[in-house]
Chain A
């Protein structure tokens, strides 16, 4: 675009108190290529200068699954429906990691990117969105390993049937991502004022996993705690995710509605707080 093509009647942007164009949907679309580059950057950067590189995708869930196998299956004797415990834990762990990485990385948006945010303008929401994108990319090979594991079990004579509901998987993942985005943005906005919040979030996410049907199916939850699981949106999503994979459980309509409602509410609140924070944080952090 040369100087002569500038629209002289309409400014490219207006700077005004309380009205920056930050993260307007149109702006986000204009910066879509930055989103793609950031996703690529973070996906690749995680494995630069590491000894095992992309093998980290698989090692971590394997070790965690083995730990769960010993603690929850062998010692605590918790049910894993008709699935082999390793498959049950592995499927839960990879999807929980996806969610919890999304939340904690989005929560760090302002703390980690402050130097860039203070020097270059672009819609700030691109950063959390790209974190979600990177985690989706990380999740795919892990899901591949899960399928390999299932294939291995099938070959060794223990049949695990996949359901035709597999197409519902992206939808469930999308809801989890939206929940993570909303929650992460809410925390990110709060970290502008309270920087240590991210540490608390780390602990909360660890605790939260145990109530999210990652280690046992809904049928193994003690009745006096079932209300907690019903109100926990992640429990419903994890159950829905596993039932769309294997069909040994059935997603419950009621809790799923509650979970979706909570997700939409949190996403709306989180994004609103994020928008507010991105206007003022350069003067605050």
Chain B
């Protein structure tokens, strides 16, 4: 199977604290001070710049994903899952490293991003579809499928500002999933919506990878992951803890999570018995 995504040593650093909190005049003042300091002591580096707290959201993440594979990314909150998805979908760039993406990628990082509230569902399907990089012709061909899948036939000409959040996500997911991108990125979005629609989404994701397309998702329901994804990337504090077949990784992950829960519970139990 040909490669869909290759990530080489991706790292992402964020600055913490007071960034861009200063006014123009404060910036001018501090850069003047720094300039004077450099003149007086040419050897000394700019202290302010170096003492700024930094934080590695991702550190040396590498993996390879083939076409038709589904990758699940797991990890605790703040492990860098969303940052990785954002880097792959060109929202933000890595500080170091490189990723090569083969094929068209549609990412669903947030429900209805790019929807315009004043416009109808119909207009927004076209707007969102073109933002994701599809041509009007492609969208027209898939239009009925999208509407049908969303189950919003009745409301398709209603401005989306009158939609419920459930309807929003149905439309957004339908656009991204039915336009047949080669790679789909899903960030916990299918967790929204009612049970029936969720089931439909999972079936859709399965049929996407059965067509030989690639899916990357973040999901916290391990049972779903075991069923739906081939490979699993476990991130911990920005670093790859484990990468391999889903069953294996999820087993380790669950084992560790249970231990962590046990550790937390034990002192309480002790206190209770004492």
Which A residues are closer than 8 A to B by beta carbons? 1-4, 6-8, 11-22, 30-31, 33-34, 37-38, 41, 45, 48-49, 115-122, 192-194, 279-280, 282-285
Give B67's nearest chain A residue, CB to CB. Answer: A3
Given A1-B104, A15-B94, A33:B135 Cβ within 8 A: yes
Digitize B100-126: 1 where CB-to-A-CB distance is under 8 Å, 0 elsewhere. 111111010110011010110001001
- Whether A21 and B14, one on each chain, are in contact in the complex, defined by CB atoms closer than 8 angstroms, is no
Number of B residues with CB within 8 Å of any CB on chain A: 54
Q: Closest CB of chain A to B93's CB: distance in Å?
A: 5
- Whether A6 and B103, one on each chain, are in contact in the complex, defined by CB atoms closer than 8 angstroms, is yes
A130–B109 alpha-carbon span in the complex (Å):
24
Q: Which of A14, A30, A45, A119 has the most CB of B within 10 A?
A: A119
Give B209's nearest chain A residue, CB to CB. Answer: A3
Interface of B is mostly: loop
A17–B95 alpha-carbon span in the complex (Å):
6
Give A118's nearest chain B residue, CB to CB. Answer: B91
A37–B119 alpha-carbon span in the complex (Å):
12
A282–B15 alpha-carbon span in the complex (Å):
13
- The contact sample of 25 A-B pairs, CB cut-off 8 A, is A1-B104, A1-B180, A2-B180, A2-B212, A6-B102, A6-B182, A12-B101, A12-B103, A13-B100, A15-B93, A16-B99, A19-B93, A34-B131, A41-B116, A41-B127, A45-B118, A45-B119, A49-B118, A120-B91, A120-B109, A120-B113, A121-B89, A121-B91, A283-B14, A283-B92
Tell me if B213 counts as interface (CB < 8 A to partner A).
Answer: yes
A96–B19 alpha-carbon span in the complex (Å):
37
Which B residues are closer than 8 A to A by beta carbons? 2-3, 10, 14-15, 19-20, 23-24, 27, 67-68, 86-105, 107, 109-110, 113-114, 116, 118-119, 123, 126-127, 130-133, 135-136, 180, 182, 211-213
A117–B131 alpha-carbon span in the complex (Å):
10
Q: Closest CB of chain B to A19's CB: distance in Å?
A: 8
- Whether B131 and A122, one on each chain, are in contact in the complex, defined by CB atoms closer than 8 angstroms, is yes
